[in-house]
Structure 1
Amino acid sequence: MTKSNCVLPEEHRLPPAFPAGDSPAAQTPQARGARRITVQNALCILCALTALGVLLLAALDKLDEIRARGFLNYITEDLLSVSADGGTLGDRMSAAVFGTVEVGGTDTPDITASAALPAPITLPRIYYIPKEEIAKEIYLEREQLERKIFELYAFDTTKVPAGKYAILPTDLSAGDAIELKNSTSFDIDMNEVAAAAKLLPAETIPTEPLVLIVHTHGTEAFSEEGSICYGDGYNEPRSADTAKNVVAVGRVLCEALNNAGIPTLQCEVMHDRESYIAAYDRSAAAIAEYLEKYPSIRYVFDVHRDSMIRSDRAKLRPVTLYDGEPCAQLMMLIGSDEKGAGSYDWMGNLTLAEAIQQHLCADTLGVARPLCLRGASYNQQLAARGLLLEIGSCGNSLSEAENAARAFAAAFVRVLHGE
């Protein structure tokens, strides 16, 4: 390769170096800038050394304290803790070194605070929501909730047509988790039951069916969505359509449990369709058949809907909110052997109901009505554990009852997991 004799164009040539004696005014901007940066660095280093010297001299007065408390503890406690009087980090550094801190402004008198500051915080509070904003958010959420509740229970009797009867929204929720309506002669200490409920062990979840859902009174249905009244032949809460009655509610409960990993079966037979009186006999036979075929079943839930009608024929609609939506209130009914069903562990059923009730009362806004203990067994003697569920009443809509079934499923799953 030969050496090139090409000459660079004028605009690409390097500028000539300045003679040593040239004045600063004749230098390029780059050269002047470089000299200013050098002077600034020198000034910064000088200031830093001066500050360090001052800190070292001041620290000599506190050497014994630093040795006693340890350097890191001394710095953390006295520099990073939040003073009750406020102040910047510089103020707290001054206080740590010189013993006092002055906090104040032109509109307020200066406050001289002691160097003994509060205990250190775990993390620096750099990003936070002021307490006023937190309170405001809570207030807004509560205000929205209260508005929804007001709208839920508001009722205008003037809108009920002549010849029809009102469906009145009402709150029948339990005052606490141990409230029991006891119609038996048994003396029940609900505090002891509650303590036993808290100790229930987690259930080993099998691959075979664990839960059976039945419907002794399967034709029990609900009021039309959004209805405020009913009448003879209008909005009657009975139906043989399993898409509209308690069988649909049981279907939602079954689906929720299976989705949560709890193997569940549902018997969709409406045992009261042929005869209301013999319904319990037929449902008992069905339960026995399921237990024989699936001996893994330990829990049997008989899903009903309640019926509450006042003397003026107005129906009650026990309702609340669950997940922000209208939700029927439910009641767990526990049978016993008082009326001759034979000896069985009905106290175990009561303990199970109490465990579920505790979660419903803790996790929901009044979904649970008080527990109810009766003298009849309601076929609960057939399985290891059995409950009768009154999900909603004749004044509730189907969607409200289905929402209550989801709430019950969530609470029951927690009990099975030993929570």
Structure 2
Amino acid sequence: MTRTKLRVIGLSVFLSSFLISLKVIPAYIELNEPKVGTLPEKSQVLMVKEEKIIIQKSSKTIKAEKPNPIASLKNSAVTPTAKRMVQKPKQSEQPRVLIYHTHNRESWLPELQGKTDPNEAFDSKINVTLLGKDLSNKLKVKGMSVIQSAEDYPSKINKFDYAKSYAYSKATLSKELFKHKSIEYVFDIHRDSESKSKTTILYNNVNYAQLYFVVGRDNPNWKQIKKFAARLQNKLNEKIPGISKGIYQKDHSSGNGQYNQSLAEYSALIEIGGVENALEENYRTISILADAIHEIWHEDHNSAI
């Protein structure tokens, strides 16, 4: 073989090796060398195509799949907030406390624009049911199971007669007690008609609406009702001396005499504040009342607060 032929064969081998290297090296460089700056859009597309080719051809590479957001969520750390979102709510405990209102529209002059006559201190929305709602919420925060009936009798009773209010609320109370046999404490929340000077106490330079209890002497269990009121009053006055003005006993000669108290052993009719008290003053008293009820509850169930 001549030297010329050897040179040609050698040159061919060299060119073949060089062309093969041109096909392999670019892909390796694009995929592995660090990126500097931002690639042009077209280059990015080409690089992605090259990556897909390599993934498919390599027998050692795991098949590329789209990320599963659900699987990622399951494997990630779950925060307390996330737990609340995914866990099913627990079934609430049966109600133990019932709050209702015989005179549901009793209101306060400071909260009613344009009204100055105490006899006009009644409203379909701004009334004692707000106190019942506040008491309910504060007891629930303490872990007690509470329901409130805020029936608006004037709008629901045909030919409404104010004098028959206790008959209307008795029907409501009977229905709730029949429906919820777990109820132990019953509270009928009212507003007194006295002026502010007789319904307000100043404690630590803050005004609180005073309250008092009414016991119906015509009930066969009136002594038990009175005892329950006395326990509440003692707790209240321990916290703010004089916030409770007393326990008033009435029979049919001076009032209703029954006040629906024969339906529940632990029942209390509570007059909170007066016609001239502001809602905020009443809410402060509700906080003290909630504390007292909560403490008595734990005493009756031999449990610690």
Decide: shared fold, TM above 0.5: yes
Partner residue of 2:138? 256
Which secondary structure does the structure 2 equivalent of 1:393 belong to?
A: coil
Which secondary structure does the structure 2 equivalent of 1:326 belong to?
A: strand
Q: Which residue of the other structure, out of 278, 283, 287, is the alignment partner of 2:164?
A: 278
The one-letter code sitting in structure 2 at the alignment partner of 1:287 is: L
1:216 to 2:98 alignment: no
Query: 2:205 and 2:140 mapped to 1: Cα distance?
Result: 24
What is the correspondence of 1:25-104 to structure 2 with a 5 Å cutoff? none
Query: 1:381 and 1:323 mapped to 2: Cα distance?
Result: 39
Q: Which residue of the other structure, out of 338, 359, 378, is the alignment partner of 2:235?
A: 359
Query: 2:237 and 2:204 mapped to 1: Cα distance?
Result: 14
Partner residue of 1:368? 244
Q: Deviations over 1:63-121 (max 9, x none)?
A: xxxxxxxxxxxxxxxxxxxxxxxxxxxxxxxxxxxxxxxxxxxxxxxxxxxxxxxxxxx
Sort the Cα spacing of 1:246 and 1:303 in 2 relative to 1 into closer, same or farther, 3 A.
Answer: same
Partner residue of 2:179? 293
The answer to whether the 8 A contact 2:115-2:121 is kept is: no
Partner residue of 1:387? 268
Q: Which residue of the other structure, out of 195, 211, 216, is the alignment partner of 1:335?
A: 216
Q: Which residue of the other structure, out of 237, 249, 253, is the alignment partner of 2:121?
A: 237
Query: 1:264 and 1:405 mapped to 2: Cα distance?
Result: 15
Partner residue of 2:85? none
The answer to whether the 8 A contact 1:322-1:407 is kept is: no
Q: CA deviation at 1:333?
A: 1.0
Query: 1:386 and 1:373 mapped to 2: Cα distance?
Result: 14
- TM-score w.r.t. length of structure 1: 0.44
The answer to whether the 8 A contact 1:209-1:296 is kept is: yes
Query: 1:259 and 1:403 mapped to 2: Cα distance?
Result: 16
Sort the Cα spacing of 1:271 and 1:216 in 2 relative to 1 into closer, same or farther, 3 A.
Answer: farther
Structure with the largest fraction of helix: 2
The answer to whether the 8 A contact 1:224-1:235 is kept is: no
Query: 2:141 and 2:203 mapped to 1: Cα distance?
Result: 19
Q: How many residues align?
A: 200
Query: 2:173 and 2:111 mapped to 1: Cα distance?
Result: 32
1:409 to 2:293 alignment: no
The one-letter code sitting in structure 2 at the alignment partner of 1:248 is: L
Query: 2:205 and 2:297 mapped to 1: Cα distance?
Result: 26
Aligned-CA RMSD value: 2.6
Which secondary structure does the structure 1 equivalent of 2:214 belong to?
A: strand
Which secondary structure does the structure 2 equivalent of 1:278 belong to?
A: helix
Partner residue of 2:72? none
Q: Deviations over 1:225-259 (max 9, x none)?
A: 699x9635x99411011xx2000011111111111
Query: 1:210 and 1:366 mapped to 2: Cα distance?
Result: 28
The answer to whether the 8 A contact 1:216-1:279 is kept is: yes
1:348 to 2:224 alignment: yes
Query: 1:277 and 1:283 mapped to 2: Cα distance?
Result: 12
Sort the Cα spacing of 1:303 and 1:226 in 2 relative to 1 into closer, same or farther, 3 A.
Answer: closer
The one-letter code sitting in structure 1 at the alignment partner of 2:263 is: L
Q: CA deviation at 1:308?
A: 1.8
Q: CA deviation at 1:219?
A: 0.6
Which secondary structure does the structure 2 equivalent of 1:408 belong to?
A: helix
1:320 to 2:201 alignment: yes
The answer to whether the 8 A contact 1:215-1:302 is kept is: yes
Q: Deviations over 1:169-192 (max 9, x none)?
A: xxxxxxxxxxxxxxxxxxxxxxxx
Q: Deviations over 1:325-379 (max 9, x none)?
A: 3210011111122xxx5x3x22111111111111111111421111111110100
Query: 1:235 and 1:380 mapped to 2: Cα distance?
Result: 27
The answer to whether the 8 A contact 1:216-1:270 is kept is: no
Paired-residue identity, %: 31
Q: Deviations over 1:135-175 (max 9, x none)?
A: xxxxxxxxxxxxxxxxxxxxxxxxxxxxxxxxxxxxxxxxx
Q: CA deviation at 1:276?
A: 1.0
Q: CA deviation at 1:384?
A: 2.2
Query: 1:365 and 1:271 mapped to 2: Cα distance?
Result: 36
